[in-house]
Amino acid sequence: MLYYLFKYLDEAFNLPGAGVFEYLSFRAALAIITSLIISLLFGKKWISFLNRKQVGETIRDLGLEGQLEKQGTPTMGGLIILTSILVPVILFAKLANIYILLMIFTTVWLGSIGFLDDYIKVFKKKKDGLRGKYKVAGQIILGLIVGLVMYFNSGIVVREKTKPASEIYTTIEQTGPTSKFVYQQFQSTKTTIPFVKNNEFDYASLIKWLGQGYESWAFLIFIPIVIFIIVAVSNGTNLTDGMDGLATGTSAIIGLTLGLLAWVSGNIIFADYLNIMYLPNAGELTIFISAFVGATVGFLWYNTYPAQVFMGDTGSLALGGIIAVFAIIIRKELLIPLLCGIFLAESLSVIIQVSYFKHTRKKYGAGIRIFKMAPLHHHFQKLGYPEPKIVLRFLIVGIFLAVLSIITLKLR
C-alpha cells in the first residue's frame, strides 16, 4: 500500500524522497524492521491476553526432563508470526505481483488451518485437535492451487539466455546487462538441480514417454510434486516444533537463505553472473521473506528457553508451508532436503521409528525402537542432553546446511 502511495506522490507531485520506495533493498529493510517491531510489541500484548484467558498448552507426560514445567504455557503464538509477516508485506510490497499474492494466500490458508486446530485443542478441550486427514486435505488443496497458478498463470515465467546475438537472424527483443546474447521469456516447469553444471531440469521430461506434445501434459507431474513438497515440509516443521526456539530459529535461518536465493534469481545481472535461472519479478519476494525473517526472529524473543509462548499449529503449519511454496516459486525446491535438513531428519526419525516398530512387532511379537524417542530432538533429550544445548546444536547444523545451500550457486 505505501509503495503505491509514494509512487503516486513521486509521479504526481515530485515529492522529494518518495522515489526511494522504488528500491527493493529499502523496502526489504523497512519490512524486516517493521516485522520485528510488530512481533515484539504485539507479542507482549498477545501473551498477556493469553495468560489472562488462561489459554495454555496441555502437556502430556512423556517422561522428559522439565516437560511438565511447561504446563499452561500460552499457545497460539503463531498469530504473532502471521501478523508480523502480513502487515509489512501489505505495506511495502507490490500487491499486484503474482508471487506476493501466492505467498499471502499460503500464509493465510495454512495459518487458518493451524488456528482451527489450536482452537479445538484449547477451547473445545479436544487434545487431538483437528483430525490429521483434514490438515493434510488443507495442505493438498493449497498444493493444488499453487501448482495450477504456477503452471497456468502467464505472469509466471523464466527468462533464459539463448544464443549469441550474432547467430540470431529473427527479430527477438533483446534484454539484459549485455548485448552479446538474446534473452527469451516463457512459461516453464523447469527447476534447479544443486551441485550440477548447467543445472536445470524440466519436470515435463518425466513424461516424454507420452510422445509428441507431451509438454502440454506436464501439469500431471508438476502439480503432484508441488503437493508432495508442501505436505512434507509443512508437516516436517510441525514435528520440529517440540522444543523452545527450535522450529522458530531453524525457520529464520532457512528464510534468510531463501531470501538471498530469491534476490539473485530476481536480479538479471546476478542471475547472469551466477549462470542461474532468471525469474522476472521474483525479486519482490525479498520483501516477503524479509518480513518472514523479522517475524521469526522477533517471535524468538519470547520463544527461547524457557518459552513464554508456543507458536502452536497456527505457526508451525504456516512456517513450513511458506518455506515450501517460496522454494517452489524461486525454482529451488530440490534444495529443500539440504537446506531443510533439520526438518527432514525430524520427519525421517518418526517414519523410521514407527515403521521399524510395526515391522518388528509383526515379525517378533514385540516392537523394537531404533531411537529412544521420536522426533529426533527427543532422542537426545532422553540421552540426558539439556534442551537449550540440543536446540543450539541443531541451529548450528542448520547454519552449516544454509551455507552449503548458498555455495551450490557456484559449486557445481
Mind listing the pLDDT tens digit for each residue in 55-69? Answer: 776 666 666 766 667
Please report the pLDDT score of residue 164 as a whole number. Answer: 59
Least confident of 19-23, 183-187, 204-208: 183-187
Please report the pLDDT score of residue 156 as a whole number. Answer: 93
Q: Which residue has the cell 534447479?
A: 192
**% of the chain surpassing 90 pLDDT:** 66
Residue 173 has pLDDT above 50, yes or no: no
Please report the pLDDT score of residue 280 as a whole number. Answer: 93
Write the pLDDT tens digit of every residue in 271-305.
888 888 899 999 999 999 999 999 999 999 999 99
Write the pLDDT tens digit of every residue in 388-406.
999 999 999 999 999 999 9
In this prediction, residues 1-18 reach a mean pLDDT of 84
Please report the pLDDT score of residue 310 as a whole number. Answer: 92
Pairing, β 190-192 against β 181-186: unpaired
pLDDT level of residue 82 (50, 70, 90 thresholds): very high
Please report the pLDDT score of residue 68 as a whole number. Answer: 66
Cα Rg of the chain (Å, integer)? 23
Helix (H, G, I), strand (E, B) or coil at 73: coil
Average of per-residue pLDDT values in the chain: 89
CB 250 within 8 A of CB 244: no
Please report the pLDDT score of residue 170 as a whole number. Answer: 46
pLDDT level of residue 127 (50, 70, 90 thresholds): confident
Q: Which three cell numbers stand for residue 320?
A: 513450513
Write the pLDDT tens digit of every residue in 357-369.
999 999 888 889 9
Please report the pLDDT score of residue 63 as a whole number. Answer: 66
**% of the chain surpassing 70 pLDDT:** 92
pLDDT level of residue 181 (50, 70, 90 thresholds): low
Please report the pLDDT score of residue 335 as a whole number. Answer: 95
Rounded distance between C-alpha atoms, residue 99 and residue 296, angstroms: 21
Rounded distance between C-alpha atoms, residue 230 and residue 253, angstroms: 19
Rounded distance between C-alpha atoms, residue 336 and residue 194, angstroms: 10
DSSP 144-212: HHHHHHHHH-TT--EEEEEEEGGG--S-----SS-SSEEEEEE---EEE-TT-TT-EEEGGGGGGGG-T
CB 252 within 8 A of CB 268: no
Least confident of 17-31, 159-173, 194-208: 159-173
Decide which of 150 and 185 is more confident: 150
Contacts of 11 (CB under 8 A, 6+ apart): none
Least confident of 24-38, 63-77, 237-251, 392-406: 63-77
